[in-house]
Amino acid sequence: MQHYLDVDDLTTDELTDVLDRAATIKSLGGENRLTGQTLGMVFEKPSTRTRVSFETGMTQLGGHAVFLGPDDIHLGHGEPVKDTSRALSRYVDFLMARVFDHADVEELAEYADVPVVNGLTDDAHPCQTLADLLTIREHFGDFDEVRVAWVGDGNNVCQSFALGAAMTGLDLTVATPEGYGVDESVLDRAESVGDAPATTHDPDAAIADADVVYTDVWVSMGQEDERSEKLEAFDGFQISPDVLGDRTLMHCLPAHRGEEVTDAAIESDNAIVWDQAENRLHAQKGLLAWLAAQG
């Protein structure tokens, strides 16, 4: 059974195939590729882009999506995760889970008889990476010679993007404060599929030769008790128009304007954040169509 729990669950060729399918579906509009099929969407965390893009995507592909929020099912409380997985597998054709603990999505996949897609965990956000890669390819034509600077927290979005960059040949430098870098195991995985990103604690050095600057929130959902500590640690990492210059700005959203990015930067013509947001829809449609084709 093919699952998509992180970017390197795919081979480089498979990743290219998913992106190609996404681009084709985007250019053709809605097609009934998944007629009569159902996506079960398991949510522990609130969501705007993940929920709407997956639900709309299934509709546009001719299928149907069922939202299962934390008050709707007993994921991990009242019923073991493995039991939820086995039961839902009898009802739906795909499972997508947006949860806190990465181990939960791994357990869903272990016991599921249908493809499981990671809609986000505290460790990884591989669907965002698909949208990011699709967006970069659209704006730059390819991945060759594109230099990206990640500036901020080495969080779940960064970790999946590092794997996607390694697999596609993007030149990536990750700038984080000390203690907030990408997990060493992720860097090892990136090295095994391509080139691991360069790492630094100097945001100016990372940005200097970049074509694209990518940032994300410093205080993620569930980390509110770390807010004061993080704001102090990330002093000097904010992206403003002066820092950005003529470079392209990416952000996975939602943005905490005035923290990791200024309002002026994200509202500037350099920002392609809305293209990223739109491409969540197209990238996930490409992924679901690809998973369905695996039989």
**Catalytic residue flag (residue 125):** yes
From 3, 6, 123, 128, the catalytic residue: 128
| β-pair type (64-68, 38-43) | parallel
Contact 160, 189 (CB under 8 A): no
**Catalytic residue flag (residue 8):** no
Binding-site residue numbers for carbamoyl phosphate are 47-50, 98, 125-128, 252-253, 280
CA–CA gap between residue 158 and residue 126 (Å, rounded): 10
Binding-site residue numbers for L-ornithine are 156, 216, 220-221
Beta bridge partners of 261: 239, 257
Closest CA to 43 of 65, 58, 27, 64: 65
From 3, 21, 51, 98, the catalytic residue: 98
From 159, 280, 282, 284, the catalytic residue: 280
Tokens for 31, please give them: 């097609």
Closest CA to 67 of 96, 38, 27, 40: 40
At position 120, the amino acid (one-letter code) is L
Catalytic site residues? Answer: 98, 125, 128, 216, 252, 280
